[in-house]
A = this chain, B = another copy of it.
Amino acid sequence: MSSGKILVAQGGGPTAVINQSLAGVVLEARRFRHVTRIYGALHGVRGIVNEDFVDLTQETSHNLELVANTPSSALGSTRDKPDLAYCHKIFEVLRAHEIEHFFYIGGNDSSDTVRIVSEEARKAGYPLRCIHIPKTIDNDLVGNDHTPGFPSAARFVAQAFAGANLDNASLPGIYVGVVMGRHAGFLTAASALGKKFPDDGPHLIYVPERVFDLEKFLADVKAAYERHGRCVIAVSEGIHDESGEAIATLLAKEVERDAHGNVQLSGTGALADLLCDEIKSKLGIKRVRGDTFGYLQRSFIGCVSDVDQREAREVGEKAVQFAMWGDRDGSVAIKRTGYYSVDYELMPLEAVAGKTRVMEDEFLSAEGTDVTDAFRLYLRPLLGSHMPDAYRLRPAPVEKILNK
């Protein structure tokens, strides 16, 4: 006799559309007659081991639709990375509550948690269907054309750089914008989609897929500044030297900023400030400004891709359909089938869990400071409808009288 109980949870960093996937799971699961309860765990896996469950069967579909359009994880999230013992506890709670279907919306770490819980259940002979639902602004899940959350964050980054470029053109100088992405440069590279005119910034883009060399960086900036009279630079927080050491840490050591030389990558403006200091002191340029996009790029309310919204909803729906009509656990993956259309597959958990995708070589230019047309073509449809557009005056110069 089936209990008909489902559990859904959200893990890792929030995105603009992660609640679409939650709504997709809940609303699709309600269509199945044998589903008796849909539980949500508060704050991800931590909420599971603590049995902090809420009954989503008692939520209106109207409010679920409104929550779907609200950014950040409505159930709360966690940074806990469960080990084997932790996963065993998760399984014990699922068994105690007679959960038969477990859906976990998250990134790399979350997929690995689903993999281990799935194995625990199999070893114990307990019939538990485990489905991982993809989500990450980093776009670093293997096997996916892209991941829900990334398109909306990419749209924010593109719009931010489009605006920063206009600001920089108005009051010329150097502008450094630091973007999230520890291993994969997709989000930083999205800054290129903010360009319209040939002399628009970002003029230089630095991603973790290429080794960062400070001398080359300064030479690049100098050349761009001499050419344009200004320079807009997109930098990934994850840039590192040949040995893999983070540039933020290296520069911090140089200025002996603190006793340990440790610099946190996210949630501080350290990398932007350190790079600006280098440009000011080594190139002697006066107007140098740095911004760290920080939490704005993943949490800003009111900047979302409609394509991303639709797909995030669909991966939630498909997860339930794969669970109900399929016969195996897995991770839902987005596959591109046209320009632009997608379909969804259920990949083996082992194929996704704990693996990191980085930018394909064909997406980065030979000199390593720009993206290719292949990347522009890849990203453009994901950004969605109604991208704001920048226009310029096309003015006729007036003859000088006094300064002839």
Residues of A within 8 A of B (CB): 10, 13-14, 39-40, 50-51, 53-56, 58-59, 63-64, 66-67, 69-79, 92-93, 96-97, 159-160, 162-164, 166-167, 169-171, 175, 194, 257, 266-270, 272-273, 276, 288-296, 298-303, 387-398, 400-403
Partner of A402, one of B51, B69, B73, B78: B51
Would B300 and A72 count as touching, CB distance under 8 A?
no
Min distance, Cβ A10 to any Cβ of chain B, angstroms: 8
Which chain B residues lie closer than 8 Å to A393 at the CB level? 40, 54, 56, 59, 63-64, 67, 74-75
* Known contacts A66-B391, A396-B54: A269-B296 contact under CB 8 Å: no
Residue of B whose beta carbon sits closest to that of A176? B267
The reply to whether B266 and A273 contact each other, CB–CB distance below 8 Å, is: no
CA distance A54 to B96 in the complex (A): 76
B contact residues around A257 at 8 Å (CB): 257
Check A301–B403 contact: CB distance below 8 A.
no
CB-based contact A170/B76 at 8 Å: yes
Q: Complex Cα distance A78/B303, Å?
A: 30
A55–B391 CB distance below 8 A: no
Asked if residues A73 and B40 are in contact (CB atoms below 8 Å), the reply is no
Q: B78 touching A171 by the CB < 8 A rule?
A: yes
Contacts of A166 in B (CB 8 A): 14, 70-72, 299, 301
A111 to chain B, nearest CB (A): 19
Would you give the shortest CB distance from A107 to chain B, in whole angstroms?
A: 14
Q: Which residue of B lies closest to A41 (CB)?
A: B398
Q: List 15 A-B contacts (CB under 8 A).
A: A13-B171, A14-B166, A53-B398, A54-B396, A56-B393, A58-B395, A63-B391, A70-B390, A72-B170, A74-B392, A75-B393, A160-B296, A257-B257, A269-B272, A291-B294
